[in-house]
């Protein structure tokens, strides 16, 4: 198993990308699941960790032409409301998990910047 991480932060927005490589991660892995099924364990864990966990949106998209699934959600931690997104991509036997978020009150301000940052990622 190989892995690496990348992080960024600005204002009240931040993001992180973690990649794990394994021979079992095939590029067509996402096709085997619906977005809801793919994120099922993540949502269970989030709802246990954050009592007010709320799914905002879930679906399919792409990053630099590579198919991905995304989950946008909100929660409260230490009395702070946060909106976050999780993006899953499988490419070249790596599962890439990208998370990015901001304070809920400011999320709309950062949403396009978050999308631009994520869409600037290039996969080779």
Domain extent for 35: 2-119
The answer to the question of residue 43 being in a domain is yes
The answer to the question of residue 29 being in a domain is yes
Distance in angstroms (rounded) separating the CA atoms of residues 98 and 38: 15
The answer to the question of residue 124 being in a domain is no
The torsion of the CA quartet 59, 70, 107, 73, rounded to 10 degrees, works out to: 80
**Total domain count, the chain:** 1
Task: Read off φ and ψ for residue 72, nearest 5 degrees.
Answer: -110, 130
- Other Cβ atoms less than 10 A from the Cβ of 77: the count is 10
The reply to whether the predicted model has a pTM over 0.85 is: no
pLDDT number for residue 19: 65
Detail the DSSP E strand segments found in the chain.
2-10, 13-21, 54-63, 66-77, 80-91, 94-103
pLDDT number for residue 119: 83
pLDDT number for residue 1: 45
Q: What is the pLDDT along the chain (124 residues), one digit of tens a residue?
A: 444 555 556 666 666 666 666 777 777 778 888 899 989 999 999 999 999 999 999 999 988 888 899 999 999 999 999 999 999 888 888 888 888 888 899 888 888 888 888 888 877 7
* Burial (CB count <10 Å: 0-12, 13-18, 19+), residue 101: buried
pLDDT number for residue 98: 86
The answer to the question of residue 47 being in a domain is yes
Q: 46 near 73, Cβ under 8 Å?
A: yes
The answer to the question of residue 19 being in a domain is yes
Distance in angstroms (rounded) separating the CA atoms of residues 13 and 77: 15
- CATH number of residue 103's parent domain: 3.40.1000.10
Which is it for strands 54-63 and 80-91: parallel, antiparallel or unpaired?
A: unpaired
């Amino acid at each position: 198993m190989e892995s690496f991480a990348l992080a960024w932060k600005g204002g009240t927005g931040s993001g992180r990308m973690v990649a794990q490589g394994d021979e079992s991660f095939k590029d067509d892995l996402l096709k085997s699941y619906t977005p809801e099924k793919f994120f099922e364990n993540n949502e269970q864990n989030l709802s246990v960790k954050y009592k007010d966990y709320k799914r905002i949106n879930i679906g399919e998209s792409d990053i630099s032409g590579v198919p991905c699934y995304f989950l946008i959600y909100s929660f409260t931690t230490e009395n702070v409301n946060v909106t976050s997104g999780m993006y899953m991509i499988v490419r070249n036997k790596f599962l890439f998990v990208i998370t990015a978020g901001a304070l809920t009150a400011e999320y709309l301000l950062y949403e396009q910047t978050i999308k631009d940052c994520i869409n600037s990622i290039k996969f080779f």
